[in-house]
């Protein structure tokens, strides 16, 4: 296998007013959590997998003694108004050359499947924990911007650069005549942020008009919130201890 390939499991008819939603690992794992949760909740149908020599040369062992390559998977959901093609997976390509190649392969497949819009999900790392979990975005289209703004998404505040597929897909999509956006959940950056993922699931549920039961994710978010609170308290306590230690160390030094 010399090139990244998409291997179709089942042939599917073209999407109606198709949107590609990608949820791959990245900052705070927000993309991956969002993608997997939506795919599970809407019971989307697995239709293809993406393999790449730019993914690690590893297979996972499954609990029943099976094995599978590290991969990305495409799922399809036929909605009332529009159809969604989900791309979720274990990993992103490990090099710049690999990222560009995978983006090209995905764009070709998206075109073939009738995708008219690209929506990638990622995290926007602020280094602190925000209660609000705002949603930032950038887009290649003024029309898309208007639509997202109506749903409370913030444009023009996130700055800097987006690394990986979340940025590359809409940008390469535009060259291929498909507009797109990157939707980023505000997050600390240092841990899996289910609470931020939850906000984005709610947004996408409205945006693509698919009812999604958020309960399971709420539970997860509550659990991870508890873990987080504990972590924060530990950090605080450690910092105080450290301060004390430092103080006593200093005092013993200046003694």
Q: Which of 11, 80, 81, 161 binds a second copy (CB under 8 A)?
A: 161
255 binds a second copy (CB under 8 A): no
The residues near 103 (Cβ < 8 Å, ≥ 6 apart) are 165, 168, 169, 172
Task: Name which of 226, 183, 235, 144 is nearest 27 in CA terms.
Answer: 183
Across the beta sheet with 179-187, what order do the strands follow? 5-8, 45-51, 72-78, 83-89, 18-23, 115-125, 179-187, 135-139, 154-155
100 binds a second copy (CB under 8 A): yes
Q: Which of 11, 43, 61, 132 binds a second copy (CB under 8 A)?
A: 61
How far is Cα 9 from Cα 58, in angstroms, rounded to an integer? 21
Other CB atoms within a 10 A radius of the CB of residue 245 amount to 11
Of the listed pieces 35-43, 68-76, 217-225, 228-236, which binds a second copy according to CB under 8 A?
68-76
Nearer to a second copy, 79 or 104 (CB): 104
Half-sphere exposure of 30 (CA within 13 A, CB side): 30
Structure tokens at 136: 């930032």
171 binds a second copy (CB under 8 A): yes
Min separation Cβ 119 and a second copy, Å:
13
Min separation Cβ 238 and a second copy, Å:
22
What's 25's DSSP letter?
Answer: S
Nearer to a second copy, 176 or 205 (CB): 176
243 binds a second copy (CB under 8 A): no
Encoded one letter per residue, x for contact with a second copy by CB under 8 A and - for no contact, window 10-39 reads ------------------------------
Structure tokens at 198: 């939850």
91 binds a second copy (CB under 8 A): no
Encoded one letter per residue, x for contact with a second copy by CB under 8 A and - for no contact, window 179-208 reads ---x--------------------------
Scanning residues 126 to 145, which ones bind a second copy (CB under 8 A)?
Answer: 137-140, 145
What's 29's DSSP letter?
Answer: G
Total residues at the site for a second copy (CB under 8 A)?
54
Q: Hunting for tokens 């005092």 — which residue is that?
A: 251
110 binds a second copy (CB under 8 A): no
Half-sphere exposure of 33 (CA within 13 A, CB side): 28
Point out which residues bind a second copy (CB under 8 A). 1-3, 7, 51-70, 93-94, 96-97, 99-101, 103-104, 137-140, 145, 155-156, 158-164, 167-168, 170-172, 175, 182
């Amino acid at each position: 296998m010399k090139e990244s390939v998409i291997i179709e499991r089942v042939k599917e008819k073209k999407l109606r007013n198709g949107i590609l939603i990608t949820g791959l690992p990245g900052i705070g794992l927000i993309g991956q959590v969002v993608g997997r949760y939506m795919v599970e909740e809407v019971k989307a149908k697995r239709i293809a997998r993406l393999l790449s020599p730019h993914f690690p040369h590893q297979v996972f062992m499954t609990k029943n003694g099976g094995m599978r390559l590290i991969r990305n998977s495409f799922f399809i959901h036929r909605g009332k108004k529009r159809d969604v093609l989900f791309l979720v997976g274990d990993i992103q390509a490990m090099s710049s050359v690999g990222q560009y190649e995978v983006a090209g392969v995905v764009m070709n497949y998206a075109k073939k499947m009738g995708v008219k819009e690209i929506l990638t999900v990622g995290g926007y790392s602020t280094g602190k924990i925000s209660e609000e979990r705002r949603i930032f975005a950038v887009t290649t289209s003024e029309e898309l911007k208007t639509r997202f703004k109506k749903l409370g998404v913030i444009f023009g505040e996130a700055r800097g650069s987006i690394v990986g597929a979340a940025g590359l897909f809409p940008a390469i999509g535009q060259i291929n005549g498909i507009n797109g956006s990157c939707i980023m959940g505000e997050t600390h950056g240092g841990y899996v942020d289910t609470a931020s993922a939850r906000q984005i699931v709610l947004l996408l549920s409205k945006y693509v008009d698919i009812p999604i039961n958020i309960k399971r994710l709420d539970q997860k978010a509550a659990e991870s919130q508890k873990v987080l609170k504990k972590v924060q308290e530990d950090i605080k306590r450690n910092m105080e201890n450290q301060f004390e230690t430092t103080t006593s160390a200093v005092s013993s030094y200046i003694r």
